[in-house]
Amino acid sequence: MRPYRSCCCLVALTALPLGGCYVEARTATADDGEVYESEPPPPPAPLVEVVPVAPGPEFLWIAGYHHWDGHRYVWVQGRYERRPHPRAHWVHPHWEVRGRAHVWVRGRWE
């Protein structure tokens, strides 16, 4: 009986350090983003950016955002992009829940 109790205690102590860790498992890549099994932590507040003068009227400012790299959020600076057509609008990158997975959807023009 004693070896069994020691083994159980060893298993419990081994798992203890993992209790507070966030482990992310990326399962696949979707056509429009990356798929994760578990929900990542919420992103930090956006950084304040100074928006420079547009290079021309056909350009739209794409605000910066925090991108999840599978381990942590990384800031992606804002930039100007030329609209693909005059009525195009930018859909910012965001998280979507699809079934039991969380998908990081890349920004795109619509």
Predicted confidence (pLDDT) per residue in 40-56, tens digit: 888 999 999 999 999 99
Predicted confidence (pLDDT) per residue in 56-83, tens digit: 999 999 999 999 888 889 999 999 999 9
Question: Residues 76, 67: contact at Cβ < 8 Å?
Answer: yes
Task: Assess if residue 7 is contained within a domain.
Answer: no
Query: Which among 96, 92, 106 has a CA at the least distance from the CA of 40?
Result: 96
Task: Assess if residue 87 is contained within a domain.
Answer: yes
Can you tell me the distance from the alpha carbon of 13 to that of 18, in angstroms, rounded to the nearest whole number?
A: 10
Task: Assess if residue 4 is contained within a domain.
Answer: no
Global pTM?
0.64
Mean pLDDT of the chain: 78
Q: Give me the number of domains the chain comprises.
A: 1
Can you tell me the distance from the alpha carbon of 103 to that of 93, in angstroms, rounded to the nearest whole number?
A: 10
Assigned token pair, 51: 């928006």
